[in-house]
Amino acid sequence: MRRVITGNQAVAYGVILSRVDVVSAYPITPQTTIVEELSELIASGRLKTRFLKVESEHSAMAALIGASTGGVRTFTATSSHGLAYMHEMLHWASGARLPIVLVNVNRAIGPPWNIWGDQSDSVSQRDTGWIQLYCENNQEVLDTILQAYLIAETVRLPVMVVLDAFVLSHTAEPVEIPSIEEADSLLPPFCPDYPIDTQEPRSYSVITTPDYFLEFRYKVQKAMEEVPEVAKKVDDEFRSRFGRSYGAIERYGKKEAELLLMTSGTVTSTSRIVIKKLMEKGLSVAGIKIKRFRPFPSEEICEVIQGAKKIAVIDRNLSAGVGGIFAQELRASLYSREERPQVFGFVSGLGGRDITPALIEEAVQYTVEHPQPEGDILWLGLKK
């Protein structure tokens, strides 16, 4: 079925098709309509999912940690301050190896108060042990949720699915919605490793001394290291069933280009237009879309940048004191390579400012014109 739906509706469809058992969430703009949609469906009895009302995002995640430990499929959605409020529980979910799926609708963190798109909320949770998958359009949002459960339940790590505020969350466009049977054939029921069983009582997440703590973290890292292979299998499986796939990254544009433009989220979508236009003008450019931010796809990136001299990165986020985080991660990935393209780290579009084709073109032009960047941060569209 093909329907014109918003990004948040696509999330709701993803949740329904994944046969989630327990949803717990607290409303926050621009995530609110996800929770509205789901709670209305649940309240009307059309969706056989338990909705746990909570007083905060922290409690929402805590509730899901309990439910997931109990052995059921769980979902929550949040944004911005809500995600920040969940921070402690995000660590808990990954440390407890619970395959929870969270949708974060990217929104700036105040002050200044701002409800618009900005990746600072999700990227600042990069060290919590969650897999992070960014989406470019509403179709990808729906598809990624289905994939997220399969990945999460295979490697036993939680997954954060990220979409841009308003540009996706409140924007309606045609989306192909799989049938529940198709979704079921992709996603088997969740089987927990250590389900709660009153006949065999257990202590969970008990205190672990320095004797063993390192080993548990090692296991988390090993699980993260499994993600590229698992996610690829899931994506392949998805393609075979639905004809769509996304990869950890996607390279588009000219083969063997000298200049690469690296973006994530909806900026990629707009960039495709710019890259096409510049290629037509004869520029040796290509684009790289980063879908999977955690684990960071260093190997996948290195495979597709052969011959590139420069990589322009547009970050819709800022780690003050360092710069754009995608650029930072890219620099770290490249360091151990012999061949290291120049990284131009642009920061733009914070707090929901449009990253227009003109701005993107400006970034590429700057990169073309400068042998190396004039600093670690190149402010794009700053009112000087």
320 forms part of the interface with other proteins (CB under 8 A):
no
SS3 of residue 336 by DSSP: coil
Identity of the residue, 105 or 186, whose beta carbon is nearer to other proteins in the bound complex:
105
Cβ distance 81 to 30 under 8 Å? no
Per-residue x/- marks for other proteins, 58-77, CB under 8 A? --------------------
Segment near other proteins (CB under 8 A); pick from 45-53, 159-167, 182-190, 286-294: 159-167
225 forms part of the interface with other proteins (CB under 8 A):
no
48 burial via Cβ count (<10 Å: 0-12, 13-18, 19+): exposed
SS3 of residue 78 by DSSP: strand
Per-residue x/- marks for other proteins, 114-153, CB under 8 A? -xx-------------------------------------
Exposure string of 71-83, with b = 16+ CB inside 10 Å and e = fewer, is ebbbbbbbbbbbb
Identity of the residue, 81 or 170, whose beta carbon is nearer to other proteins in the bound complex:
170
Identity of the residue, 21 or 164, whose beta carbon is nearer to other proteins in the bound complex:
164
Q: What does the alpha-carbon distance between residue 105 and residue 34 come to, in Å, rounded to a whole number? A: 10
Candidates 56, 179, 185, 205: give the one binding other proteins (CB under 8 A): 205
Pick from 148, 181, 178: nearest CA to 162: 148
β-pairing verdict for 285-290 and 249-253: antiparallel
Candidates 166, 293, 296, 344: give the one binding other proteins (CB under 8 A): 166
Pick from 195, 172, 118, 154: nearest CA to 8: 172
To the nearest whole angstrom, how small is the minimum distance from the Cβ of residue 302 to other proteins? 27
Identity of the residue, 50 or 170, whose beta carbon is nearer to other proteins in the bound complex:
170
193 forms part of the interface with other proteins (CB under 8 A):
yes
Per-residue DSSP letter, 285: E
Q: What does the alpha-carbon distance between residue 156 and residue 131 come to, in Å, rounded to a whole number? A: 10
Cβ distance 268 to 357 under 8 Å? no
280 forms part of the interface with other proteins (CB under 8 A):
no
To the nearest whole angstrom, how small is the minimum distance from the Cβ of residue 169 to other proteins? 9
Segment near other proteins (CB under 8 A); pick from 89-97, 225-233, 319-327, 365-373: 89-97
Residue 218 Cα distances to 2, 212, 343, angstroms: 44, 10, 31
To the nearest whole angstrom, how small is the minimum distance from the Cβ of residue 272 to other proteins? 5
Cβ distance 241 to 182 under 8 Å? yes
- Cβ neighbours, 10 Å, residue 332: 11
208 forms part of the interface with other proteins (CB under 8 A):
yes
95 forms part of the interface with other proteins (CB under 8 A):
yes
Candidates 171, 245, 298, 342: give the one binding other proteins (CB under 8 A): 171
* Apex 230 CA angle, 220 and 255, nearest 5: 115
Identity of the residue, 117 or 373, whose beta carbon is nearer to other proteins in the bound complex:
117
245 forms part of the interface with other proteins (CB under 8 A):
no
Number of residues that bind other proteins (CB under 8 A): 42
212 forms part of the interface with other proteins (CB under 8 A):
yes
Candidates 65, 72, 131, 167: give the one binding other proteins (CB under 8 A): 167
291 forms part of the interface with other proteins (CB under 8 A):
no
Q: What is the rounded (10 degree) CA torsion for 126, 266, 227, 214? A: 0
Token pair for 316:
């819709």
Pick from 231, 80, 70: nearest CA to 148: 231
To the nearest whole angstrom, how small is the minimum distance from the Cβ of residue 365 to other proteins? 18
289 forms part of the interface with other proteins (CB under 8 A):
no
Identity of the residue, 174 or 375, whose beta carbon is nearer to other proteins in the bound complex:
174
**Residue ranges binding other proteins (CB under 8 A):** 4, 95-97, 115-116, 156, 164-168, 170-174, 193-194, 202-208, 212, 215-216, 218-219, 266-267, 269-270, 272-273, 352, 354-357
